[in-house]
Structure 1
Amino acid sequence: MKRLLYTYPIILLLLNILACGERKNNTSSEVHTETPVDELVITREQFEENGMILSHMEEKTFPITVSTNGMIDVPPENRAVISAVMGGYITKTPLLVGDKVNKGQLLVTLENPEFIALQQEYLEVKEQLVYLKSEYERHRILFDEKISSQKNYLRTESEFKTARAQYKGLQKQLQLLNISPMEVENGNITGTATLYAPISGSVTKVLVSRGAYVSPSSPILEIVDNDHIHLELSVFEKDIMQVKKGQPILFRIPEASDNTFEAEVYLVGTTINENRTIQVHAHLKNEKENRFLTGMFVEADIVTDQLQTLALPSEAVVTIDDKAYVLLLVSENDGNYQFRKLEVQTGQTHGNYTAIGNVEKLDSNNRFLTKGAFGLIEE
């Protein structure tokens, strides 16, 4: 009886030990059969059906840039503001914004009684000038022959030269009004003055209408010649020391196009504006091939240097919660691909490639899923 009492506890203890060992073995086998959370397996059929691609990292050139903005503009000689020398009422204004004009084309006609008075004065001075010139020459001869006094000679000389200066001044005023002095001398007096285009281009502003009165020097309309346009950029003071003539520029017009265009630094300003920026003037490349308009807002990157670094196609990098990930090929067995989701540090993006920063942890033989990674990482 005593032997049985000792035997039962021993049997129960052995059974418990065997049960614990079995549970440990089961747990161990479950761990080995599960795939880690940051790894996934793709079959060859899935790989081919989804058009996935494996690639190595490549050494690429990335530009070091200064970011800025500005606008498309034209040189001062390609912009003309039309105004009148003398005031008047608009009698003809046949142009609209957008109309093309050629140099010398009629733009606006003004009417003012003062134009008539100016021409009358011109004719009167011209007639007086004939008489005063005759008197001046007569007194000069008499003075040379000691017949007339020097006083009379100087008086007639002064009157003649004053009238001649007045005549030349009135003649110039008529020419500024585009009224022909020759026509006036022939008796053709007009009450209108015509303004002509000083340059060829497009009308960008019309500031008057028919019947309106314009005062002297008031702007009537504006013409812009877009045959030669350029970039006017504003670079912050902290970046200006990096900017030099001849550097390439990559710019975009965000409101009008997704394309990137090219330009080149031509002039760097030498004064700082009130907002602590410096003007940079740049010439466009292939400007004739694009329909750029004056006043377009641009975002530009001035390329100041270049950097050689390893990179992957931008499609291979997926950003989740401000962290960048790629899929690194771990193994390829039995037609299956095993990948590991790897967090990486990214740099610049250029030409559909993204620079990878922490390459010291990677090997040049590593291959990455460069097409199809987005859907896998998102899942």
Structure 2
Amino acid sequence: MKINHQYKFLLVIFSLFLFVSCNKKAAETVTEEEHHDETGVVELTPMQVKSAQIVFGIFEKKNLSEVITANGYTKLPPQNQADVSVFLGGIIKTIAVIEGQFVKKGQTLATFQSMEFNNIRLAKAKLTEELQQAKVSKDFLELEFARQKELSDENVTAKKTFQKINTELETIKNKIKNTENQIIILDQNLSLGGNDNASILSIVAPISGYITEVKVKIGSSISANNTLFSIVDNSKMHVDLLVYEKDLFRIKVGQSVRFVLTNQGNQEIIGRIFSVGKAFQNESKSVAVHADINNSTIGLIPGMYVNALIDIGKNDVETLPIDAIAKAEGKEFIFIQEEHDEEPKSKGQEVDTGVHFKRIEVKTGTTQLGFVQVTPLQEIPAGAKIVAKGAYYLQSTMSNSEGGDEHNH
């Protein structure tokens, strides 16, 4: 009987031990499952978020598939560029501008001392008289030119006579042009309130824009027609794109053009085609396509290389910047900021000041101009703040944290 009592006692002890062990394993299993559920979340301090330069964004509708890719350059029309020169010789006395400075049309750029005129009004009167005489000579030479051309066609007179008249006519035309330009300079100085008896003349800006070159110094000797300053007005910038023959039939005036510049933070620039070239560019079998730029206040300068997309369809898809995508375990993810309680649920509990980011698995598609088509594989809460830049940092932080946990286990 004693043996039976001892056997029952041992059986009870063994059963109790087995029950405790099972409960312990169950608890460990629950803990592991809870830890697994949290592997898609990473927490950063506000300072870490700032240091990582994390930027938030939203899904944007873009056409990434029905497009034609084209390369080209930013360009200015000729009427928005100016080389400043004078039609009088002289010595530079003052310079009022520097490279990069904005000037208005008619603003004084520099002054020079004329080597030809000491009295502006007398000089203008003399030039006006010379201009009238030159125009009379031009009228006579034009009549003689027509007569000699007719005789030359009939082989009545030598061709040398005709060529001589032609040369004289061209010479008088150039003299008229130069004289008119000299009168313009004198008129400009009179309108500026200059001293009639002074030989100091002003050089003024023919257009509004930015000074790109200053080719003179104080004391420089200048000659007629030499370029002294260069000015550009970038407000009328457009892009010239080269489209190859195989795509040309799909290009039409009015189509939208998009491109980005890395020095503008990948800001998308929108344009619209206003003209399609009618001839091939050299031997490249490509045609120049010209597009206006809508957002022209973004600091473009002539000659910038661009890689553009010409929209030929309307197949818009949900996109995010490429920097929003993180890759791990052969999959692709984005991160959203997860809302959490900022106030303690019970008295004495610490306030959670961390920023929580949840990882969402996605599928990506076409990539163009720094954007990629994104299809989430799980539901994203409405109005969620998506990490547009910094996903790689968050994934690295998460991987390091998980590695540390495994090491501890």
For the pair 1:249 / 2:257, whether they are aligned, the reply is yes
- Which moved further from structure 2: 113-122 or 91-100? 113-122
Q: Is the 8 A contact 2:75 2:237 kept in 1?
A: yes
Q: Is the 8 A contact 2:128 2:183 kept in 1?
A: no
Correspondent of 1:110 among 109, 112, 116: 112
Give, in whole Å, the separation in 1 of the partners of 2:226 and 2:215: 9
Give, in whole Å, the separation in 1 of the partners of 2:178 and 2:62: 71
| Residues 98-143 of structure 1 deviation map (CA, whole Å, 9 limit, x = unaligned) | 112111111122333233599569549969x9xxxxxxxxxxxxxx
* Amino acid in structure 2 at the alignment position of 1:73: K
Identify the residue that residue 283 of structure 1 maps to in structure 2: 292
Correspondent of 2:72 among 61, 70, 73: 70
> Given the superposition, is the C-alpha separation of residues 109 and 313 from structure 1 closer, same or farther in structure 2, using an over 3 Å criterion?
closer
| Residues 38-66 of structure 1 deviation map (CA, whole Å, 9 limit, x = unaligned) | xxxx95642444249xxxxxx99643222
Identify the residue that residue 198 of structure 1 maps to in structure 2: 206
Give, in whole Å, the separation in 2 of the partners of 1:222 and 1:313: 39
Identify the residue that residue 222 of structure 2 maps to in structure 1: 214
Identify the residue that residue 40 of structure 2 maps to in structure 1: 50
Deviation at 1:232, TM superposition (A): 2.4
- The DSSP-based 3-state class of the residue aligned with 1:262 is strand
Identify the residue that residue 23 of structure 1 maps to in structure 2: none
Give, in whole Å, the separation in 2 of the partners of 1:291 and 1:182: 37
Give, in whole Å, the separation in 1 of the partners of 2:320 and 2:80: 46
Deviation at 1:240, TM superposition (A): 2.6
Please say which structure displays the higher CA radius of gyration: 1
For the pair 1:348 / 2:366, whether they are aligned, the reply is yes
Give, in whole Å, the separation in 2 of the partners of 1:181 and 1:60: 55
Q: TM (normalized to structure 2)?
A: 0.50
> Given the superposition, is the C-alpha separation of residues 256 and 43 from structure 1 closer, same or farther in structure 2, using an over 3 Å criterion?
same
* Amino acid in structure 2 at the alignment position of 1:278: V
* Amino acid in structure 1 at the alignment position of 2:186: N
| Residues 185-241 of structure 1 deviation map (CA, whole Å, 9 limit, x = unaligned) | xx9444343221122222121122122223322211111223332222233343333
Correspondent of 2:102 among 87, 100, 105: 100
Deviation at 1:95, TM superposition (A): 0.8
Percent identity of equivalent pairs: 24
Correspondent of 2:266 among 258, 268, 280: 258
- The DSSP-based 3-state class of the residue aligned with 2:116 is helix
- Structure 2: give runs of 5+ residues left out of the alignment: 1-31, 43-60, 133-175, 334-360, 381-385, 404-409
* Amino acid in structure 2 at the alignment position of 1:281: H
> Given the superposition, is the C-alpha separation of residues 242 and 87 from structure 1 closer, same or farther in structure 2, using an over 3 Å criterion?
farther
> Given the superposition, is the C-alpha separation of residues 97 and 275 from structure 1 closer, same or farther in structure 2, using an over 3 Å criterion?
farther
Correspondent of 1:292 among 300, 303, 306: 300
Give, in whole Å, the separation in 2 of the partners of 1:227 and 1:311: 31
The structure carrying a bigger strand percent of its residues is 1
Give, in whole Å, the separation in 2 of the partners of 1:261 and 1:311: 16
* Amino acid in structure 2 at the alignment position of 1:46: H
Q: Is the 8 A contact 1:85 1:176 kept in 2?
A: no
- The DSSP-based 3-state class of the residue aligned with 2:262 is coil
- The DSSP-based 3-state class of the residue aligned with 1:172 is helix
* Amino acid in structure 2 at the alignment position of 1:204: T
> Given the superposition, is the C-alpha separation of residues 265 and 207 from structure 1 closer, same or farther in structure 2, using an over 3 Å criterion?
same
* Amino acid in structure 2 at the alignment position of 1:68: A
Identify the residue that residue 88 of structure 2 maps to in structure 1: 86
For the pair 1:226 / 2:234, whether they are aligned, the reply is yes
* Amino acid in structure 1 at the alignment position of 2:237: I
Give, in whole Å, the separation in 1 of the partners of 2:267 and 2:317: 25
> Given the superposition, is the C-alpha separation of residues 93 and 347 from structure 1 closer, same or farther in structure 2, using an over 3 Å criterion?
same
- The DSSP-based 3-state class of the residue aligned with 2:71 is strand
| Residues 16-58 of structure 1 deviation map (CA, whole Å, 9 limit, x = unaligned) | xxxxxxxxxxxxxxxxxxxxxxxxxx95642444249xxxxxx
Give, in whole Å, the separation in 2 of the partners of 1:117 and 1:312: 69
Give, in whole Å, the separation in 2 of the partners of 1:193 and 1:319: 72
Identify the residue that residue 163 of structure 1 maps to in structure 2: none
> Given the superposition, is the C-alpha separation of residues 126 and 231 from structure 1 closer, same or farther in structure 2, using an over 3 Å criterion?
closer
- Structure 1: give runs of 5+ residues left out of the alignment: 1-41, 53-58, 130-167, 328-340, 357-365
Alignment of 1:305-316 (within 5 A): 305-307=313-315
Q: TM (normalized to structure 1)?
A: 0.54
> Given the superposition, is the C-alpha separation of residues 306 and 318 from structure 1 closer, same or farther in structure 2, using an over 3 Å criterion?
farther
Deviation at 1:368, TM superposition (A): 6.5
Deviation at 1:171, TM superposition (A): 7.1
